[in-house]
Amino acid sequence: MDEQIPVKTSLSELYPADALTTSKKRWKNLISKFQSEFGHNPTFIARCPGRVNIIGEHIDYSLYDALPAGVVADVIIAVASSLAKSNQFAVAISNTNPEKFSSRNLEFKDKDSIDIDAAKHEWTNYFKAGLKGALPLLSKANPDFRQSNLEILVDGTVPTGGGLSSSAAFVCASALSVLYGNGVHSITKRSLTELAIVSERSVGVNSGGMDQSASVCSESGKALHVAFYPQLSVEPVSFPKTDPPLTFMIAQSFVASDKHVTGPVCYNLRVVEVTLAAEYIAAKLGLKLPQDSSSLGRSLRGLQEAYFASNKTNKDFSSESDRVSHMLSLVQEHLSNKNGYDRQEIATTLGISISELEERYMTTFPIHAENFLLNQRATHVYSEALRVHKFITLMKESSPSSSQESETLLKELGDLMNQSQISCREVYDCSCPELDEMCNIAREAGSYGSRLTGAGWGGCTVHLVPKDKVDDIRTAWIDKYYKTKKPDLSQEQRAEAVVVSEPGHGAMIIELQDNSEFLT
């Protein structure tokens, strides 16, 4: 992660061959609109992709590993900058879809005056989040730093509310734009990822870090093993060669899932529940949880580390899988009430008042709940962590030499994805009927493994598929889901609903030079 964000001059180094022609047209359109909007060319374009999460859902904010991959869909931001004459600076920001995203002229008295109203769902909040996160890094590098005025034009192909993390792509690209636009041309992947993780929380979401890691650090053709403990790290992982070859299909349910809007009863509530589960078990065991980098500063991973450091068991747990499995048993022992826990019971166990409980865990991101399903949420986290560990081990260590061995491997990987979907649906309560139906249709048509991807409650599904079944599965979705369940979709929406593509590159800067390949 300490390598720098790559700076390129050619789109052929960024997109796969089958997407290059369309991508060039889109980038030319962005540059043309920038010229019309601001009267001159941009100097560079920052690009960050969305991501698909293959397995490891809702466990990054508990500091457990995940396996995402970058996708071709992305956010691109054309930028021109000029040095501000005083500490006051301005950002003129527009979007290539002005009917949906209105232009704004933002003015700031200084770097400390960037206010983001998380209660107001304004598209420029995501840019301001990236801006706010980038400025301290600029000031640290140069105490006499003076912010530049920025002209910004944004274009995105990551569907909003689609489960492919359009918000992380936007925040990462925004922060990258601000840094590069202010003369910082040596930006490490780690610094961009870490500032983007914190930045996105300012728009009202307790993000864990997987989305930003994938958007910044993904490599073409590979999945990305993202680990959060003891510190953030990434490792590209190659897919095993099978016969028939495996591929991943991404399918849109067209059920919008907006973490910002539904956070108090969905995403942010789950973050609070898993944190309270860790605190509750720790209190029962007489353990003090360490402060860590999770969303609320305490985590189920922190509980695991504190437990084994305390020598409360004499058994030998030499492997990570054995340790996580033991944590699952502790959940059943100390969080046995599957009907849930109210605020009074949780506060009493933690030795604090209800008002202290609410102040500590439910103030920064308001929560609308009276009953907290701590057993189920912790059960999902630990069981999903085990599935991720097994999935990655299979990918790294398997080299099938026959079609029979390939079949066995694909079935094992697929079963883990199917188990993940069951847990998301029945234990973590983050699926929805449409996602479940799309997964069932795909499995019946030949998918080895099918599950939701992203936060859930709508958005996209991801499917482990042998390449010779791609057309069958696509046809099944069209006939059994899109035509019957979503008859109002346009022909264009239906055509774009299903994506089959290689994992794509992460964050990148494209310098606009006269001889740039994509401008010819």
Tokens of 44: 């560079």
Q: Check if the beta carbon of residue 140 is closer than 8 Å to that of residue 191.
A: no
Token pair of 520, please? 């010819």
Beta bridge partners of 151: 80, 92
CA distance 258 to 266: 10
- CB count within 10 Å of CB 315 equals 7
Q: Under a CB-based contact definition with an 8 Å cutoff, are residues 292 and 301 in contact?
A: yes
CA distance 7 to 186: 10
Pairing status of strand 371-372 against strand 341-342: antiparallel
Compute and round to an integer the Cα radius of gyration of the chain: 23
Q: Where are the beta strands (DSSP E) in 32-111?
A: 44-55, 67-83, 89-95, 104-108
User: Is residue 232 within 8 Å of residue 213, measured between CB atoms?
Assistant: yes
User: Are the C-beta atoms of residues 289 and 279 closer than 8 Å to each other?
Assistant: yes
**Surface-to-core class of residue 85, CB atoms within 10 Å of its CB (0-12 exposed, 13-18 middle, 19+ buried):** exposed
E runs forming strands in 310-427: 341-342, 371-372
Q: Which residue numbers are catalytic?
A: 211
Beta-ladder partners of 251: 461, 498
Q: Which residues contact 127 (CB under 8 A, 6 or more apart)?
A: 91, 93, 152, 154, 170, 174
Give the count of beta carbons closer than 10 Å to the beta carbon of residue 499: 17
Complete edge-to-edge strand list for the sheet that includes strand 148-156: 7-8, 508-511, 44-55, 67-83, 148-156, 89-95, 104-108
Please tell me the distance from the alpha carbon of residue 309 to that of residue 49, in angstroms, as a whole number: 39
